[in-house]
Amino acid sequence: MEQQPDIDPQETQEWLDALDSVIVSAGGERAHFLLEKLIEKARRSGAYLPYSATTAYINTIPTGKEARSPGDNAIEHRIRSYVRWNAMAMVLRANKNTNVGGHIASFASAATLYDVGYNHFWHAPCETHGGDLVYVQGHSSPGAYAYAFLSGELSQEQLDNFRQETGGNGLSSYPHPWLMPNFWQFPTVSMGLGPLMAIYQARFMKYLGSRGLVNTDGRKIWAFMGDGEMDEPESLGAIPLASREKLDNLIFVVNCNLQRLDGPVRGNGKVIQELEGAFRGAGWNVIKVIWGSYWDPLLAKDTKGLLQKRMMECVDGEYQNFKARDGAYVREHFFGKYPELLEMVATMSDDDIWRLNRGGHDPHKVYAAYAAAAKHIGQPTVILAKTIKGYGMGEAGEAQNITHQQKKMGTTSLKAFRNRFGLDIPDDKIDEIPYLTFAEDSPEFIYMRERRKALGGTFHRRKPRAEALQVPSLSAFQALLKASGEGHESSTTMAFVRILNILVKDKQIGRHIVPIVADESRTFGMEGMFRQLGIWSSSGQLYTPQDADQLMYYKEDKHGQILQEGICEAGAMSSWIAAATAYSTHGIQMIPFFIFYSMFGFQRIGDLAWAAGDMRCRGFLLGGTAGRTTLNGEGLQHEDGHSHVVASTIPNCVAYDPAFAYELAVIIQDGLRRMYQEQEDIYYYITVMNENYTHPEMPVGAEKDILKGMYLFCEADADADADAEAPCVQLLGAGTILREVIAAAEILKQDYAVHADVWSVTSFNELRREALAVTRWNMLHPQQPAKESHVENCLNGRKGPVVAATDYMKIYADQIREFVPGRYRVLGTDGFGRSDTRQKLRHFFEVDRFYITVAALKALSEEGKITQQQVTQAIEKYGIDPEKSNPAAS
């Protein structure tokens, strides 16, 4: 906002003197109250007073109000220095021979931020505390390893295997629970996901507490991130939710080292001020930790505010440059702009000026900020801590644009690092880059142990298991295993809702069920659960819902069970992740079911789905209105033909595309058994459709093959008098297209006397995984009898070519080509979606019963079972235009 000229300096001074008097006599809070009243009065009187969400470029907490750390600063400094060295040494040693990479600069800037947490704030789970959860900034992982090594949690051998994991005793590059299941909780290096997941984790913790499932008193979520990371939309996208839900159990710590990977975050501006405005405007409690204690005397002398003015004038590009140079440069280019400031530092040497520290490197300032954040009530807190990227690296990279990629340091830089932090490493050992340890009877080691004991014990201790749940048997879903009966049509989506209703009423696991929707409950027929279960809200329901007079009214409740996330698939997925990892973060198994438009699932939140695999999530994702042709009328952006292909890329995601209610029941029941009874670290992606049709009874003994991914739905009826040489074909179908396959089998029988066996393929993904595993075993056991894959077991000995049709891209069914004996023809829905009726869409994408029939006839003609002319006649008979455009390119 443009500065207005002061037309009456004397009056201005009188107002300022009055304000000073209030501050002295009644305190800052009273002064703030009076100012707010004045602003309110001015606005009511018509004055234009635009809101400013930023404050002066100084620390939020005045020096006189800082909580003092109870710790031993000298010992903590020595511990922190050892951790700094070991974190750097681990990266340098790993790159001596292997060149596997690693990052030094990020943790170098954040070491104090983590150290204060380890020593004074982060509780481990114990009898008296449920434990805090910390989202470690991904590039700072060497610091976490270094701390764990110094405290005895990790060995030197493990540190020397940093980023060298295939031997089985390595340390992952970044926080990866899949690779280190007893150490890491959260994968965070896909930037932006850490902040987003932390917000919904804090919210889910409130949800668990509200429902009386877990005692969450006193527990905090600490999320560390970089200022450059805040450019990711996910980093800031959900911050209004955190304040709206009053998540005072959430603390963000933004390491503002002013640098991204390539250069400044905001070279021409101030990222701390920008972030302060964003968070304060969103309703957060903002604590800025900009200047360290060495600045306090200078700020105390700044009675005219000139120093603060200069601090505000400088942009981040200049602040980066100051710390890349020396004290003389800072004297000339920072203080030198105003003679009064030069006079202020006249008695200080260049070294004194160079020692003027930033707040994020001052343990006293950091402790004060953490203490204030930990006790703040009613709002989430963000701490904006100003640091220096590559702090301590000197000429090797401190505050330099190249520092993020720096993974090597020469002898001179190593000696400078040693000297700066007072480390006992002789010159003749410096190039060995030795790890530093404390003797178990040393004051430092004893101090570390005592501090962690006071906070519940070892911090890096992920709990991989919780109490197993007794899940219902398949008989609980008996109604879905039977035929629906003529005239009783329903969709697989409605079958899912019936299953969910059965589960929430189950005495053993009902309270563990977490239904999650992204504002689509009515689309999926789940509105009946609103009143039955309630939509969880931290505030309850402060209004009378518009539909209160209806049976299925919109009911919000503090003890509600449904998580209604609004139009935010990423947020809903983050809630699902929080619930799906509750076994490790909260010691209780929760069973989340997140149902969404499949097109807006894996496509939109694919990064989170991958992170879910890394986090060893357990739960169900339901892709509703799935398939390219099932959702008629919506068009390109809504029609999914590839979600199963994306799901196949996640190793522990078990994906199914069931056609009938009994298939869905079998899959969900077995998923419950595997994840919550056997506690396998897998999760399920199941597609369900909104197309209504009758559902048959489950074939006897089909359960195991349904789960394997393929079973014989119906076998061709070969009459005793029929020609034994009659042409045969094997038809494979999945999801709603299975019904087209069944219809094609009838056409082939009636019009061409072709016998067709119909196979329901519930999962081409699972078929391929199992077949690849069998192939691998056969390759590595050449002298053992060869095994057969499930695909081969099903199709070996069956007559005729194989034709597969699905509502997904051809590559989905094409996955098993290697394992299909004989000729294999695949139909699928490659191309952009269209709006039309299902019938026309399936004809357009060439997956309807007539195209399936023609594909089968063409395959038979290639085997000499029928003539090419018969194929041409079929094309004409079914009104297929041979010259129609290819849907994959239309």
Residue 409 — pLDDT band, cuts 50, 70, 90?
Answer: confident
Q: What is the pLDDT of residue 528?
A: 79
Q: Is the per-residue pLDDT at 259 higher than 60?
A: yes
Does residue 613 sit in helix, strand or coil?
helix
Q: What is the pLDDT of residue 2?
A: 54
Q: Is the per-residue pLDDT at 723 higher than 70?
A: no
- Give the pTM: 0.94
Q: Which two three-digit tokens encode residue 584?
A: 């490790």
What percentage of the chain reaches a pLDDT higher than 70?
Answer: 99
Cα torsion 23, 26, 31, 34 to 10°: value is: -140
More confidently predicted of 821 and 47: 821
Q: Which two three-digit tokens encode residue 67?
A: 């909580």
Q: What is the pLDDT of residue 97?
A: 78
The residue among 239, 253, 255 whose CA lies nearest residue 203 is 239
Q: What is the pLDDT of residue 743?
A: 98
Averaged pLDDT, 733-741: 97
pLDDT 10s digits, 37-54: 888 888 888 888 777 889
Rounded distance, CA 175 to CA 142, Å?
Answer: 10
Q: Contacts for 749-752 with beta carbons within 8 Å, 24 or more apart?
A: 749/716, 751/853, 751/874, 752/727, 752/857, 752/866, 752/870, 752/874
Q: What is the pLDDT of residue 1?
A: 47
Rounded distance, CA 666 to CA 545, Å?
Answer: 38
- The span from the first CA to the last CA of the chain, in angstroms, equals 52
Cβ neighbours of residue 146 closer than 8 Å, sequence gap 6 or more: 82, 83, 84, 86, 87, 90, 107, 159
Q: What is the pLDDT of residue 721?
A: 46
Q: Is the per-residue pLDDT at 109 higher than 60?
A: yes
Find the helix packing angle between 73-97 and 411-420, rounded to 10°.
Answer: 170
pLDDT 10s digits, 593-612: 999 988 887 888 999 999 99
Minimum mean pLDDT range among 96-100, 338-342, 558-562, 741-745: 96-100
Q: From edge to edge, which strands make up the β-sheet containing 563-564?
A: 563-564, 513-517, 591-597, 620-624, 683-687, 653-656
Q: What is the pLDDT of residue 718?
A: 54
Q: Is the per-residue pLDDT at 865 higher than 90?
A: yes
Q: What is the DSSP letter of 358?
A: B
pLDDT 10s digits, 151-162: 999 999 999 999
Rounded distance, CA 764 to CA 768, Å?
Answer: 6
Exposure class string for 584-597: b at 16+ Cβ within 10 A, else e: bbbeebbbbbbbbb
Exposure class string for 610-629: b at 16+ Cβ within 10 A, else e: bbbbbbbbbbbbbbbbbbbb
E-state strands within 537-667 = 556-557, 563-564, 591-597, 620-624, 653-656
Residue 795 — pLDDT band, cuts 50, 70, 90?
Answer: very high
Angle at 577 between CA 571 and CA 580, to 5 degrees: 145
Average pLDDT, the chain: 93
More confidently predicted of 724 and 465: 465
Q: What is the pLDDT of residue 856?
A: 98
What percentage of the chain reaches a pLDDT higher than 90?
Answer: 81
pLDDT 10s digits, 279-337: 999 999 999 999 999 999 999 999 889 999 999 999 999 999 999 999 999 999 999 99
Q: What is the pLDDT of residue 524?
A: 82
Residue 3 — pLDDT band, cuts 50, 70, 90?
Answer: low
pLDDT 10s digits, 416-463: 999 999 999 999 999 999 999 999 999 999 999 999 999 999 988 888
Alpha helices in 121-232, H assignment, sequence order = 141-150, 156-159, 193-210
Q: What is the pLDDT of residue 186?
A: 96
